[in-house]
Amino acid sequence: MTEKQGRSREKSRRETEIMRAELIVDEMASAVRFLGGEGTALAQNNRAARAARLPHTVIERLRWKKIKRIPADIADTIREAVERHNEESLARARHQLAIAERSNGALVARLMEIDADFHGAEIARLRGETVGVGRHADLSRRE
């Protein structure tokens, strides 16, 4: 190597592959913790193993980064489990939103039966309307 050449600043293929493997190891360790939820490490490992449908020992080795080169089928299984978990969480949130909307509707109907004039502000709040504040109040004055 001559004085002007210097060392190549680009990363070698081997270094790139090592970095990619380390990123996958980190991703899998965090995915196991995510799938496991709250609790002790043993409880998290058990829940993650059930969710991913993998043996407990594989999950434990993923969590503690004992596997340096994670096979693609294991990584795909964990990613699918995370995707399933996210879809289930979204469905649960939608269900809770629907329940809350129904209970708000029932509460609005009850308040209107009692006294719509007295509880007008509360009824508007439960319906998601704004009364006398913000942009809607300004627009109603101009008309």
Residue 4 lies inside a defined structural domain of this protein: no
Tokens 């996958």 correspond to: 24
pLDDT of residue 8: 65
With respect to residue 8, please indicate whether it lies within any of the assigned structural domains: no
Q: How far from the centroid of its chain's Cα atoms is residue 137's Cα?
A: 37
At 143, the pLDDT band (50, 70, 90 cuts) reads: very low
Q: Which domain holds residue 77?
A: 13-142
Residue 127 lies in a domain: yes
Give, to the nearest 10 degrees, the angle between helix 120-127 and helix 72-115.
Answer: 160
Identify the burial level of 140 via C-beta atoms within 10 angstroms of its C-beta, where 0-12 means exposed, 13-18 middle and 19 or more buried: exposed
> So what's the pLDDT on residue 127?
78
Q: In 104-139, which positions are buried (b, 16+ CB within 10 angstroms) versus exposed (e)?
A: eeeebeebeeeeeeebeeebeebeeeeeeeeeeeee
Asked whether residue 6 is domain-assigned, the answer is no
pLDDT digits (tens, 9 = 90+) for 88-140: 999 999 999 999 989 988 888 888 888 877 777 887 887 777 555 555 555 54
Distance CA 25, CA 65 (A): 6
pLDDT digits (tens, 9 = 90+) for 64-84: 999 999 999 999 999 999 999
Domains: count for the chain: 1
Flag whether 5 is in a domain. no
Is residue 57 in some structural domain?
A: yes
State pTM to two decimals: 0.70
Question: Cβ atoms within 10 A of the Cβ of 48, count?
Answer: 27
Any domain includes 2: no
